[in-house]
Amino acid sequence: MSVPTTSADMTWSGAAAPVIVDAAGESSAARPPSRAYEEVLRKWADVLGTKHVLHDPTTLDRYSRSTLPTSTRPRAVLRPASTQQVRELVVIANTHRVPLYPISRGKNWGYGDACAVTDGQVIVDLSRMNRIVEVNPTLAYAVIEPGVTQQQLYDYLREHDYPLWLDATGAGPDSSIVGNTLERGFGHTPYGNRFQHMAGMEVVLADGTVLNTGFGSYENAQAARVFPAGIGPWLDGLFTQSNLGIVTQMGVWLLPAPPVCQAFAFKVRHERDIEAVVEALRPLRLMDVVRSAVHIANDLRVISARRRYPWELTGGATPLPDDVRRRLQKEAGIGAWNAMGGLYGTRETVAAARKVVRRSLRHLAHVHFFGERKMEFGLRAANLLSRIGLARHFLETIESANSIFQLLRGIPSSEPLKGISWRTKASADGTAADPSDCGVLWLSPVLPMTGSATREILDLVEPIFREFQFEPLITLASVTARALVCVLSVCYDKEDRRDAAQATACYESLFEAVMNHGYVPYRSGIQSMRKLSRRSSVFWDVTRQIKLALDAQQTLAPGRYQPDEEPLL
């Protein structure tokens, strides 16, 4: 693994990273602790216990690990177990002007992992706050803390035999539901637009005040988890992609398990067919025939999820030569673009939807439909054939489809994360023990769900990938009925310094290109947050004013989604 760098070594959009200084005017995470800071550590230890106030080099190394080419190093790590402990540690930090950076579980792969925006901040790791406070099976919602993982909530629902599904993302079973929702992440089920399917937050502000949003601000409010807006200004959005408070509890809606869930999948042969695919899918989403997100992956993205870069076939050359790409595409039995979505409802409604989908796509591709039984049969058959040396690639195709099918049914899976080790040479088979051992930068611009917009952005980004010798690993996801998120994966080998430098240059070139053409990312990595204000000064001026009203000393996550923020410490 690469050694984490300090802010002095990092490139941040051509500008120096802001330096965090303490009350004594000292800087750098590596300096010896001052007496004042040692007093702060003692106060935190009185609240949390000494074993949950960590500042040893091994711990700081662990929290500095990132999939990004460069990372930041914290000054310490705090691990509270309750909202009250969060309140107390925030008051101490605010009093002594020490910056805190809250994380839910630190699984923000491709965007910064557990790292703060700058060196020297104190990480507040909320993973010990992992209570499932309530599950209401009648109204189909759960109230959870930020440490609750996808796997934990899934297991809880199964153990209690609740006929409810969570929305599952491809971030892995150990990722935080709250953390992903606060980043306005998306999953695969009809509740895939996660922020639109939450109701009510508990938030600790910089002065230690606890705010309950929506109807939750009223004692004993009966509809706090079923009517998100409440009364008065809707504040919930202020605490997503921001540094205005620490969310310690959230209500999330669960999908009532449908009588029938069927996946549909199809592929198109030619790269140019993507425009027709988008035009055919949009009406299906707008009419709610297809209620799930539809994921459309190019051949390289599918290949990267099933195997590592074929160095032996390319003689070490990058990017992947066209002839090798065609060979791998043929072996995998995939198309230039490969789409998959879900149908939910009764047997009758799913049958009707299946007819509409087939009719809408018949001029493009043959559509395959399958449910749980058909998938299980296909897996058994493919495994049996592969054991006798047949249909190995068919097994890989079935397993790849099954990983998405599980997500469509609200079942967490680690399979989608395998693609980030595409260029990793960590071991003989190229796999890595932990995602943070791999190299990936994700850039996710949003575009209107039209064929012309899709063609424009592909023509824009694909030459940049080639210029910097990376494969254009691209997925398009219809997160809403009117918009696509274009997930661009820059995968590289972290152990190769040249590759890492090229990855940084590729990402920055992609970022500038999509922003210049009006395709703004739906979220930002820590390495590009300082770039966000260039074309939207009024918006960021307003958020700055809100920040100063709620956190005048900038105690909470300085620089996080505050592009021009200069620490006042």
Q: What pLDDT, in 10s, does the model give residues 464-485?
A: 999 999 999 999 999 999 999 9
Q: Which CATH architecture has domain 7-127?
A: 2-Layer Sandwich (3.30)
In the sheet with 100-103, reading across from the earlier edge strand, the strands are 53-54, 76-78, 122-125, 100-103
- 14 falls in which pLDDT band (50, 70, 90)? very low
DSSP 8-state code for residue 81: -
- Report how far apart, in Å, the C-alpha atoms of 128 and of each of 104, 265, 456 are: 9, 39, 45
The mean per-residue pLDDT over the stretch 22-30 comes to: 39
Least confidently predicted of 4-8, 74-78, 292-296:
4-8
Least confidently predicted of 286-300, 397-411, 512-526:
397-411
* Predicted local distance difference test score (pLDDT) of residue 52: 98
Token digits of residue 498: 């040249």
Identify which of 241, 239, 213, 237 has the alpha carbon closest to the alpha carbon of residue 227: 213
- 5 falls in which pLDDT band (50, 70, 90)? very low
Residue 445 has pLDDT above 80, yes or no: yes
Do residues 467 and 300 lie in contact, with contact meaning Cβ atoms separated by under 8 Å? no
Q: What pLDDT, in 10s, does the model give residues 332-361?
A: 889 999 999 999 999 999 999 999 999 999
Domain 260-516 is classified in which CATH homologous superfamily?
A: FAD-linked oxidases, C-terminal domain (3.40.462.10)
* Predicted local distance difference test score (pLDDT) of residue 33: 66
Least confidently predicted of 295-299, 350-354, 421-425:
421-425
Q: Please provide the distance, in angstroms rounded to a whole number, between the alpha carbons at the two ends of the chain.
A: 33
- 390 falls in which pLDDT band (50, 70, 90)? low
Residue 27: how many other CB atoms lie within 10 Å: 15
Q: Where are the domains of the chain?
A: 7-127, 132-256, 260-516
Least confidently predicted of 22-31, 78-87, 423-432, 512-521:
22-31
Q: Rounded to an integer, what distance in angstroms lies between the CA atom of residue 87 and that of residue 165?
A: 32
- 393 falls in which pLDDT band (50, 70, 90)? low
Do residues 176 and 107 lie in contact, with contact meaning Cβ atoms separated by under 8 Å? yes
Residue 2 has pLDDT above 50, yes or no: no
pTM, entire model: 0.91
The mean per-residue pLDDT over the stretch 99-117 comes to: 96
Q: What pLDDT, in 10s, does the model give residues 489-548?
A: 999 999 999 999 999 999 999 999 999 999 999 999 999 999 898 777 789 999 999 999
- 392 falls in which pLDDT band (50, 70, 90)? low
Query: CA 265, 267, 271 angle in degrees (round to 5)?
Result: 145
* Predicted local distance difference test score (pLDDT) of residue 378: 84
Q: Rounded to an integer, what distance in angstroms lies between the CA atom of residue 450 and that of residue 274?
A: 10
Residue type, 65: R
Which residues make Cβ contacts (< 8 Å) with residue 131, sequence separation at least 6?
144, 145, 147, 148
Which residues make Cβ contacts (< 8 Å) with residue 100, sequence separation at least 6?
78, 89, 90, 93, 121, 122, 123, 124, 246, 555, 556, 557
Do residues 127 and 63 lie in contact, with contact meaning Cβ atoms separated by under 8 Å? no
* Class of domain 132-256 (CATH, top level): alpha beta
- 140 falls in which pLDDT band (50, 70, 90)? very high
Residue 568 has pLDDT above 60, yes or no: no
Token digits of residue 110: 């491709």
Q: Rounded to an integer, what distance in angstroms lies between the CA atom of residue 248 and that of residue 299?
A: 40
Which single residue is written with the structure tokens 């922003």? 515
Residue 7 has pLDDT above 90, yes or no: no
Token digits of residue 358: 């087939």
Token digits of residue 455: 């063609």
The mean per-residue pLDDT over the stretch 407-424 comes to: 92
DSSP annotation string for 339-390 = EEEEEEE-HHHHHHHHHHHHHHHTTT-PPEEE-HHHHHHHHHHHHHHHHTT-
Residue 432 has pLDDT above 70, yes or no: no
Q: Report helix, strand or coil for 212.
A: strand
DSSP 8-state code for residue 367: P
Q: What pLDDT, in 10s, does the model give residues 193-250?
A: 999 999 999 999 999 999 999 999 999 999 999 999 999 999 999 999 999 999 999 9
* pLDDT above 90 as % of the chain: 80
Longest alpha-carbon distance in the chain? 73
